[in-house]
Amino acid sequence: MTSLKCIIVDDEPLALNLLQDYIHQTPFLKLVARCSSGVEALDVFNNEHVDLAFIDIQMPHLNGLELSRIIGNCFVIFTTAFEQYALEGFKVNAIDYLLKPFSYAEFLTAANKAQRQAELVNASHSLGNSTLTPKSLVIKSDYKQQIINTSEIVYIEGIGDYIKIHLETGISVQTLMTLKNIEEELPKNQFIRVHRSFIVNIQKVKTIERQRIVFDRVRIPVSDFYKQAFFRALGIK
């Protein structure tokens, strides 16, 4: 299991104490610093390696969104009492967004997302591929904006002018968009078109049977047109 060095940035002492307690309860997290301002956090980032930052958004002098744009290569989970910042937070590729007050279960779910992303990045580096980075999509569905992390997508199905995004949780999200448009937003080294109606997450492919990708009870056809590129992406000759 990948261990993550963490920093907490929040101008509220109670929030700092709660997050510190949650981190200490989580075996794969190690707290390296707690900071009461974004300016103080910058000094830590300049002198310490940090994998994951829990950052409050509304802070004086340097807010959480501004800080996240400065720190560069670090996973970010925003913690805030203001729901209206959610979409803005995901525009800077935050791993997750915790709305105060949040429980340890909610905290752990977000931390697990970061841990999975770190494992994906480490795996890509071991294969000599440093281009795999976490990415979130903002999808409009049922008059709501849904935040979807690409690492949680199993496959995407095209249905006329709509697409249906199938997640590893078993939930699917439908939106008015074409496969071509969504394909342009997806990480190229993580997703591949296998059929005129299907895009799959290469990292979720475990079984191929009679030129069909098996996802539990679902069988996705691999068309002849896309077959060569698909098998090449899997390293199969």
CB atoms under 10 Å from CB of 161, counted, come to: 8
Among 121-125, 182-186, 205-209, where is mean pLDDT lowest?
121-125
Structure confidence at residue 88 (pLDDT)? 52
Question: Where in the sequence of the chain do the CATH 3.40.50.2300 domains occur?
Answer: 4-126
- Above 80 in pLDDT, residue 85? no
Query: What confidence tier does 93 reach under pLDDT thresholds 50, 70, 90?
Result: low
- Residue indicated by tokens 């059929």: 195
Q: Residue range 227-231: average pLDDT? A: 85
Q: Residue range 100-124: average pLDDT? A: 83
Reading phi first (left if > 0) and then psi (alpha if -120 to 50, else beta), residue 200 is in beta
Structure confidence at residue 127 (pLDDT)? 45
Question: Where in the sequence of the chain do the CATH 2.40.50.1020 domains occur?
Answer: 136-233
- Above 90 in pLDDT, residue 145? no
Would you give the end-to-end CA distance of the chain in angstroms? 31
Q: Residue range 214-221: average pLDDT? A: 92
Among 70-79, 107-116, 131-140, 197-206, where is mean pLDDT lowest?
131-140
Between 26 and 187, the higher pLDDT residue: 26
Between 81 and 121, the higher pLDDT residue: 81
Please give the torsion angle defined by the CA atoms of residues 104, 107, 113 and 114, in that order, rounded to the nearest 10 degrees: -120
Q: Residue range 160-186: average pLDDT? A: 89
Structure confidence at residue 198 (pLDDT)? 96
Contact 155, 201 (CB under 8 A): yes
- Above 60 in pLDDT, residue 186? yes
Topology, domain 4-126: Rossmann fold (3.40.50)
Among the listed residues 161, 175, 218, the one whose alpha carbon sits nearest the alpha carbon of residue 194: 218
- Above 80 in pLDDT, residue 135? no
Query: What confidence tier does 122 reach under pLDDT thresholds 50, 70, 90?
Result: low
- Above 60 in pLDDT, residue 236? yes
CATH 2.40.50.1020 fits 136-233, yes or no: yes
**List of E strands, 37-185:** 52-56, 75-80, 96-99, 136-141, 144-149, 153-159, 162-167, 172-176
